[in-house]
Amino acid sequence: MSNRIFTAGLIAFTGLLVFVFVFLVGSLAVEFIRESPDQTPDFERIFFAIRLSLLTATLSSVTALVVGTPVAYFLSRHKFRGHKIIDTLLDLPVFLSPVALGAMLLLFFNTPAGRQIENITGEIVFNVRGIIIAQFFVIIGLGVRLLKNTFEHIDEEYEQMSRVLGANKIQTFYRVVLPLAKKGIISTLLLTWARAIGEFGATITLAGATPFKTTTLPVGIFLGFQAADIHRATIFILILIGISLLVLLVSRLLLEGKQQ
């Protein structure tokens, strides 16, 4: 009897939480349908935000993957003095407020070193480049953490066998480690991409919210509410929900295939 009560409690809590999320999305959909007959969507703004979000999220997540892969592999295979300190430092973007991170970047690019970087790369603050940089620093900690977990689950015996057969470390990494980590790497790319496309705090702090210049989907939501255009904001939210659900589903399917 107690087992049934316990199971029923678990089902009740799970069902309640699912209901809350479904109710939230349903309320959004109802609001969108109610507003739609009276308003024509501003397709120019919507398509601009979608294009910019897809572009910046792709660039930032690919960059995070390229930078994070060797870092994660190094931390997964080498233990040294200060390892935990470095590991903790790289986790900081995961827990730090995006607004605080954006403010740190904004202050940095107002220093001589930051201005010198802008002289070389072009304008960053209140520019599309600022969106990419803000997204990168928000997602890099998550990317390193996921990749490190992937590498740690690869048996080092495969690498040792490769070395015994005459391959050097670089050859072993590219021919053995990366193929074994393929699904984890793809999953990491998808999850960091989804996080980047939904990034708002650091983006608006560093790149601003200029219409038709730095308007990503989350910024579009902010501008929609600021202009009391609930219909436009609702469209942006629904697009983000659709993208997030799709990416999470694909990522989970990849992880399930990896475990089998």
- What pLDDT was estimated at residue 201? 92
Tokens read off for 95: 């827990």
Q: Is the pLDDT of residue 169 over 90?
A: no
Provide mean pLDDT across the span 65-78.
93
Range of the structural domain that residue 125 is part of:
42-259
In whole numbers, what is the pLDDT of the chain averaged over residues?
89
Number of domains in the chain: 2
Looking at the fold, whether 178 and 248 belong to one and the same domain comes out as yes
pLDDT in tens, 219-231: 999 998 888 888 8
Contact criterion met (CB below 8 Å) for 221 and 164? no
Looking at the fold, whether 4 and 131 belong to one and the same domain comes out as no
Q: Evaluate if pTM is beyond 0.75.
A: yes
Q: Is the pLDDT of residue 7 over 70?
A: yes
In sign, the C-alpha dihedral spanning 165, 169, 175, 178 is positive
Q: Is the pLDDT of residue 159 over 80?
A: yes
Looking at the fold, whether 212 and 236 belong to one and the same domain comes out as yes
Looking at the fold, whether 16 and 116 belong to one and the same domain comes out as no
**How far is the C-alpha of 233 from the C-alpha of 29, rounded, in Å?**
12
- What pLDDT was estimated at residue 94? 87
Looking at the fold, whether 22 and 99 belong to one and the same domain comes out as no
Contact criterion met (CB below 8 Å) for 153 and 76? no
Looking at the fold, whether 164 and 70 belong to one and the same domain comes out as yes
Contact criterion met (CB below 8 Å) for 172 and 159? yes
Looking at the fold, whether 114 and 202 belong to one and the same domain comes out as yes
pLDDT in tens, 197-226: 999 999 999 999 888 899 999 999 999 888
Closest CA to 220 of 234, 205, 241: 234
pLDDT in tens, 174-184: 998 999 999 88
Contact criterion met (CB below 8 Å) for 199 and 134? yes
Looking at the fold, whether 26 and 3 belong to one and the same domain comes out as yes
CATH of the domain at 86: 1.10.3720.10
Looking at the fold, whether 62 and 118 belong to one and the same domain comes out as yes
**How far is the C-alpha of 151 from the C-alpha of 149, rounded, in Å?**
6
Q: What is the chain's Cα-based Rg?
A: 22
The number of residues making up the chain comes to 260
Looking at the fold, whether 28 and 56 belong to one and the same domain comes out as no
